[in-house]
Every structure is written in C-alpha cells, then in structure tokens.
Amino acid sequence: IWKAMGKKKDDLFSWDEARSIVFNYIEQENLGKDGSIKMNEGLLEALWKTAGGQKKDQKWPEEVDAEQVEEKLEDRLQRYTTIDVAGVGPTTRKGPPLNIAISLSRKGAHNVTRICNLEAYGLDPEALGDELKRKLNCTVYIEEMPGKNVKEKMLQLQGHVDQELGQFLEQRYGITKKFLEVK
C-alpha cells in the first residue's frame, strides 16, 4: 500500500495521515467507498496476513467495512511519540510517552532524589546535572540505569528536591508537573 501511494514504510505518519493513505489507496484501486470495501491482495498483505501467522486452509475476508479496515490498521501500526521541549527540539521515541520519574529515598543517613527518563525529553543528564548543581547547591551523581543494553542514565541529587526540580523544569524547559511522576 505504501509503495503504491509513493510513501516509504520507514517514515513517521500521524494516525490521520496513515488512515488517509490507506483510504486513498482503496479509492485509487476502486475497491469501494465508505460502505463495504472489496479486498485485493495489497490490502490483505498489508492488514490481514501476518508473517508466519497463517494456518492451512485459512479463509480471508472478501469484503469488509471501513471500521474493520481502521481497526486492522491500528493493530498493525507501531506507535511513536514525539516530544518537543522548549530550547531542546523534538525527540521521537517508540511507544507511548514516558513521564520523568522522580523517586525520593534515603541512602545511608542522606536523603536523595533520583531522576529517570530525561532522555525521552531530549535532556542531557550531564548538562542538567551541572545546571542543577549550581541552581540547587547540592551534590549530583550520574549513573547508568541497571540492565543490559540500556543507554539511559539516572541523575541522583542530594536531598529531597522534588518541588524545586519541578519548578526548575517548568521555568527552564516548559515541562509541567503532569509529565513528572513522583514516587
């Protein structure tokens, strides 16, 4: 479908764009309008047939309605999220949007604030750590997130500074408290 409509599969499309590409293909191939849609090999391959998922003697639909096509399209598409932070630029990632995770805990006799998922918003933990060190006058420690093949880093600040951090992120980057998850 994408090739027939002059689009690349690797490009990112909004839901409305992807939907219009499929329905323009249906119109171009004279498969029907909003009512019932006749199935051709292109539609079956793109929306119904999955790699390795066919059973012997499986029957494919010959006609479907537009709602079923939309439903199958939504199942087959991979969800991406683009987050545009002021002063940083847009960052695109696979899956739904992540909140910045802030956890308050104790380490020995000290209170600490740990911050994760900064990379999802295009923020560099080292640069942000340097800024927060000066702004909040506290010790900053940056460490790798646990696990294999993990590129993200965790920022650890001395003291319980979740309120000050929320205010700083809102003033400097426009990230409101609804995108922060305090544990």
Predicted pLDDT at 33: 65
Q: Tens digit of pLDDT for each residue in 18-43?
A: 999 998 888 888 887 667 888 888 88
Q: Tens digit of pLDDT for each residue in 112-142?
A: 999 999 998 999 999 999 999 999 999 999 9
What's the mean pLDDT in 75-104? 89
- The answer for residues whose C-beta is within 8 angstroms of residue 61's C-beta and 6 or more apart is 39, 48, 68
Query: Crossing angle for the helix pair 162-173 and 125-136, nearest 10 degrees?
Result: 120
Q: Tens digit of pLDDT for each residue in 90-116?
A: 888 888 888 999 999 998 889 999 999
- Is a pLDDT exceeding 90 seen at residue 79? no
Predicted pLDDT at 171: 93
User: Among residues of the chain, what percentage have pLDDT more than 70?
Assistant: 96
What's the mean pLDDT in 165-181? 92
- Is a pLDDT exceeding 80 seen at residue 151? yes
Task: Report residue 51's pLDDT band, with 50, 70 and 90 as the boundaries.
Answer: low
Write phi, then psi, for 46 (nearest 5 degrees).
-75, -35
Element (H, E) at 72: helix 66-76
Structure tokens at 47: 């929306």
Predicted pLDDT at 52: 63
Predicted pLDDT at 38: 86
